Amino acid sequence: MIIKILFLACAVAAANAGALVSPVYGAPYSYGAWNPYSSYPAQPALASQQSNTYRSPFNLGQVSTYSKSIDTPFSSVRKADIRVSNPGVAVAPAYSSFAAPYVSHVGVAAPIAKVATTGGLLGVAYSPATTVSHMTYTNGLGLAYSCGDNEDSWILYKERPEWSDVTPVPEDDGPNPVVLIAHSEKFEDVYDYFRAVLQKNEMSERALELTKDAVELNPANYTVWQYRRDLLKALGTDLRPELDYVEAIIKNSSKNYQVWHHRRVLVEWLQDPSLELGLTGDALLQDPKNYHAWQHRQWAIKTFGLYDKEMDFVDNLISEDVRNNSAWNQRYFVVNNHLGWSDISVQKEVCYTLEKIKFVKNNESAWNYLRGVLLHDKRGISGNSIVTSFCEELYKNKCRSPYLLAFIIDICDEAIKKGETSSFHNADRAVELCQALANKYDRIRSKYWNYMCDKFKKYQQNETHKDDNIDS
C-alpha cells in the first residue's frame, strides 16, 4: 500500500512539473512538448562583480571599468562598462547582455530590447541615445543573437547646413606631437566646431546645443563647462531645465568634479538649494563615500543653513555602516559648524561614540571621532573619567583592538605631560602597550610603535633620575 502511495505522489509531481507555463515576450509562444525546467533540479546562480578606476597624474583624466556576470545551468548574463573622462580618447560602446530562456528548438525570436524613443540622456538633438547600446542573448544550446548600436543616424556637424557658415578649427598638437591620441571622427568633428565657436565667442542657441555634444564625449572638459555657463548667462536661459540636465549627468558621472562645480554655480545664481540635499542623498546611496557629493552637500548646508535634519541623515548612514568614515566626518562637520562644543554637547557625542564602539570595537572611524570630540573637552583625553573607565573595562575584558591600545597610549602620554600619572596611565604602561602593538597587534606599523616605545623609555629614565635626586 505504501509503495502505491509513493508511486501516485511521484506521478502527480511529474504531471505538475510538466505543466509549467512558458514566459511571454510580447506575443505568446510555446517551447514545445519538452520543458527543460522539469528535467533539472533548481541550481544556484554563480555571480561575480568587479570595478576599478584608474586616474592619471594630477587627476586630469580617468578610466572606470565595471563588469558583472551571472551564470546558471540554463543561461548566462554578461555586463561590461568602460567610461573614459580623458580628453580625446575614443572608446567602444558599453555592452550589456541579458539571458534568454533555454529553448528546445531554434525557431524562436529573441525578446526585443526596448529602446528610448526620445532624445538621449544628455538631450542631444541629432543623436537619440538608446537605452541599451548592444545586447547579446545566450542559452544552453549555444544559440546567440544580438542587436547592435547603429551610429548611422549621427550627422556630423560639417554635414549640417545650419553650420555651413562656421570653419572648423582642428586641434593643434604642434609639428612633432609626442603621442597622437586616436580621436574618433565624431569626437574630432564636435571639438573642431567647438573650438571654432569658442574662438569667435559666439553666443547662440546652437553653440549651447553644441556644448551638450561636447560634454557627452568628455564630461570632464572644464573649458566646455565654462563656455556653457557663459552661454547660459548671455542668452538668459531658464536655469531650471539646466538643473535637470546636470542631475542626469551627475547620475551618469557622479565623480566628475566639473559637473559638480557647474551645479554649484547654478544654485548660486538661482539662490535656491531646495534640491541639493535630495540630489546628494541619492548620490550617496550609490556610493556613501563619494567625495564630490559630500563636498557639495557641505557647501549647500553651510551656505544656506540647511542643518536641521542633517544629524538624522548622518545617524542613518552610521547605523547602516558604522565604519562609514565619511558619515563620521559629516557628523563632526555639523557639530563643529552648527551645534557647537558645549560641555553637554561634548558628553552627548562621547556617549554616542562609545555606544558605537561597543558595537564594533575594531572600528577606526569611531575611535578617530572620539579623539576629535575630546579635543573640545576641557579635561582632555586623560581627564574624562567616562572615557578612561570605558577603555579600561574593554582592556579588562580581553579586548586588544589596536585602536583601543593606541588610545590608552595617548591617555598615558597626556597624563605624563600634565604630571598626572596614575597606576593605570604612566610610562611603564605605555612601553608595555607599544611593545604589544609592535610585536603582535599592529605589526605593520611596528617601526612607529618601536619609535614611540623609545620615547616613553626616555620618560622612564627621566622619572628614575628624578627619584634618584630626591633620594640623594
Question: For residue range 283-333, what is the model confidence (pLDDT) as tens digits?
Answer: 999 999 999 999 999 999 999 999 999 999 999 999 999 999 999 999 999
Indicate if 398 belongs to the active site: no
Task: Select the more confidently predicted residue: 87 or 249.
Answer: 249
Residues in Cβ contact with 111 at an 8 Å cutoff, skipping those fewer than 6 apart: 25, 26, 100, 137
If you average pLDDT over residues 420-449, what whole number do you get? 96
Q: How far is CA 339 from CA 97, 308, 331, 349, 375, in A?
A: 51, 10, 10, 11, 16
What type of residue sits at position 307? Y
Q: How far is CA 440 from CA 402, 405, 430, in A?
A: 10, 12, 15
- Cell representation of residue 175: 609639428
Catalytic residue among 68, 186, 233, 255: 255
If you average pLDDT over residues 335-357, what whole number do you get? 97
pLDDT value, residue 204: 97
Strand-pairing partners, residue 65, are: 52, 82
Confidence of residue 274 (pLDDT cuts 50, 70, 90): very high
Confidence of residue 38 (pLDDT cuts 50, 70, 90): very low
Confidence of residue 181 (pLDDT cuts 50, 70, 90): confident
- Inter-residue contact 26 to 112 (CB < 8 Å): yes
pLDDT value, residue 258: 96
pLDDT value, residue 19: 40
pLDDT value, residue 276: 98
264, burial (CB in 10 Å: exposed 0-12, middle 13-18, buried 19+): middle
If you average pLDDT over residues 352-357, what whole number do you get? 98
Q: Specify the range with the lowest mean pLDDT, choosing from 5-9, 122-126, 257-261, 328-332.
A: 122-126
What type of residue sits at position 58? F
The whole-angstrom separation of Cα 53 and Cα 81 is: 12
Q: Specify the range with the lowest mean pLDDT, choosing from 140-144, 193-197, 217-221.
A: 140-144
If you average pLDDT over residues 395-407, what whole number do you get? 97
pLDDT value, residue 469: 55
pTM of the model: 0.66
* Nearest by Cα to 428 from 405, 466, 461, 389: 461
- Per-residue H/E/C for the chain: CHHHHHHHHHHHHHHHHCCCCCCCECECCCCCCCCHHHCCCCCCCEEEEEEEEEECHHHCCEEEEEEEEEECCCCEEEEEEEEECCCCCCCCCCEECCCCCCCCCCCCCCCCCCCCCCCCCCCCCCCCCCCCCCEEEECCCCCEEEECCCHHHCCCHHHCHHHCCCCCCCCCCCCCCCCCCCCCHHHHHHHHHHHHHHHHCCCCHHHHHHHHHHHHHCCCCHHHHHHHHHHHHHHCCCHHHHHHHHHHHHHHCCCCHHHHHHHHHHHHHHCCCCCHHHHHHHHHHHCCCCHHHHHHHHHHHHHHCCCCCHHHHHHHHHHHCCCCHHHHHHHHHHHHHHHCCCHHHHHHHHHHHHHHHHHCCCCHHHHHHHHHHHCCCCCHHHHCHHHHHHHHHHHHCCCCCHHHHHHHHHHHHHHHHHCCCCCCCCHHHHHHHHHHHHHHHCHHHHHHHHHHHHHHHHHHHHHHHHHHHHHC
Q: Please give the backbone phi and psi of residue 288, each rounded to the nearest 5 degrees, phi first.
A: -60, -10
> Residue 459: is its pLDDT beyond 50?
yes
Task: Select the more confidently predicted residue: 27 or 345.
Answer: 345
Task: Select the more confidently predicted residue: 402 or 47.
Answer: 402
28: left (phi over 0), alpha (psi -120 to 50) or beta: beta
The pLDDT mean for the chain works out to: 78
> Residue 273: is its pLDDT beyond 60?
yes
pLDDT value, residue 140: 37
Helices 257-270 and 276-286 meet at what angle, rounded to 10? 160
pLDDT value, residue 24: 36
- Inter-residue contact 432 to 439 (CB < 8 Å): no
Q: How far is CA 331 from CA 159, 318, 339, in A?
A: 55, 9, 10
At 85-139, the pLDDT tens digits run 554 444 433 433 333 333 333 333 333 333 333 333 333 333 333 333 333 333 3
pLDDT value, residue 10: 53
375, burial (CB in 10 Å: exposed 0-12, middle 13-18, buried 19+): exposed
Strand-pairing partners, residue 136, are: 146
Our measurement of the distance from residue 351's CA atom to the centroid of its chain's CA atoms, rounded to an integer in Å, reads: 30
Confidence of residue 68 (pLDDT cuts 50, 70, 90): low
pLDDT value, residue 393: 97
Residues in Cβ contact with 118 at an 8 Å cutoff, skipping those fewer than 6 apart: 128
